[in-house]
Amino acid sequence: MPRTVCLLALILMVLGLGGCGRPPSIGEDKDAFKAVDALYTAVSMREQKLLDQCDASLKSLHDSGKVPDNAFESLESITAEARAGKWETAQERLTKFMEGQRR
């Protein structure tokens, strides 16, 4: 019995730390959704200048409290990946991020 309890506790801990596989939420702000959509356009078009504009917009939204820290960190990671020339991987990650959002 104790072994089962320990296993169950371990599973719950892993699920809690991983967020059950869902990306962090950007919340309900319309500007945040528009900024993430623009980021997707920049990444899919592989446009460095637009990528920079989107990054600046997301930083501004984060600074004003419209994009939560954990979502901003995920988006920054995706942006950095695109800047490193890994456009396809960044696009795949951003697609998963966007699909995981709830409105």
Specify the number of domains making up the chain.
1
In the prediction, which pLDDT does 22 show? 82
In the prediction, which pLDDT does 10 show? 45
Range of the domain at 61: 2-99
Tens digit of pLDDT per residue, the chain (103 long)?
466 544 444 454 444 444 457 889 998 899 999 999 999 999 999 999 999 999 999 999 999 999 999 999 999 999 999 999 999 999 999 999 999 997 6
In the prediction, which pLDDT does 5 show? 46
The DSSP code sequence of the chain is: -HHHHHHHHHHHHHHHHHGGGPPPP--S-HHHHHHHHHHHHHHHHT-HHHHHHHHHHHHHHHHTTSS-HHHHHHHHHHHHHHHTT-HHHHHHHHHHHHHT---
Query: Backbone dihedral region of 101: left (phi > 0), alpha (psi from -120 to 50 degrees) or beta?
Result: beta
> What is the Cα–Cα distance from 87 to 46, expressed in whole angstroms?
7
Q: What is the pTM of this model?
A: 0.78
Task: Evaluate whether 45 touches 88 at the Cβ level (below 8 Å).
Answer: no
Task: Evaluate whether 57 touches 79 at the Cβ level (below 8 Å).
Answer: no
